[in-house]
């Protein structure tokens, strides 16, 4: 799975460390949503990890997966960043979408 690749693990750590700070400091999302976003990420990783990692059995497939993970990180970062000026409910929806893109991508 992309979540188990070295590139994915490093981007996940970066997002895990900065997303809560961004949500609290720069969005109108409620504070309780920080825990909910981390829970969504964790649940997706636990549920999809084996399924998505199937088929990564050589360097070429690992490289493709790492490139997709990088693209997903870029899109997810843009989504989460765009939640900055949105009203609370829209910020929650955009951040959830960003978390899903980051985790599944």
Tens of pLDDT, residue by residue over 18-63, are 778 888 888 888 989 989 988 988 899 899 888 888 888 999 988 9
pLDDT at 5 exceeding the cut of 60: no
**Measured distance CA(85)–CA(10) in Å, rounded:** 27
Question: In which element (H, E) is residue 25 found?
Answer: helix 6-26
Of 85, 84, 67, 77, whose CA–CA distance to 101 is shortest? Answer: 77
pLDDT computed for residue 2 by the predictor: 46
More confident residue, 9 or 20: 20
**What's the rounded mean pLDDT across residues 6-22?**
63
Contact indicator for 77, 51 with CB cutoff of 8 Å: no
pLDDT computed for residue 15 by the predictor: 58
The sign one gets for the Cα dihedral 62, 68, 74, 80 is negative
Please report, rounded to a whole number, the percentage of residues in the chain having pLDDT higher than 90.
32
């Amino acid at each position: 799975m992309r979540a188990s690749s070295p590139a994915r693990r490093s981007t996940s750590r970066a997002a895990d460390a900065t997303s809560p700070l961004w949500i609290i400091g720069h969005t109108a999302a409620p504070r309780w949503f920080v825990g909910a976003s981390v829970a969504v990420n964790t649940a997706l990783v636990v549920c999809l990890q084996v399924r998505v990692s199937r088929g990564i059995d050589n360097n070429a497939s690992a490289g493709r997966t790492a490139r997709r993970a990088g693209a997903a990180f870029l899109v997810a970062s843009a989504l989460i960043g765009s939640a900055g000026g949105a009203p609370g409910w829209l910020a929650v929806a955009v951040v959830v979408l960003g978390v899903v893109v980051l985790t599944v991508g």
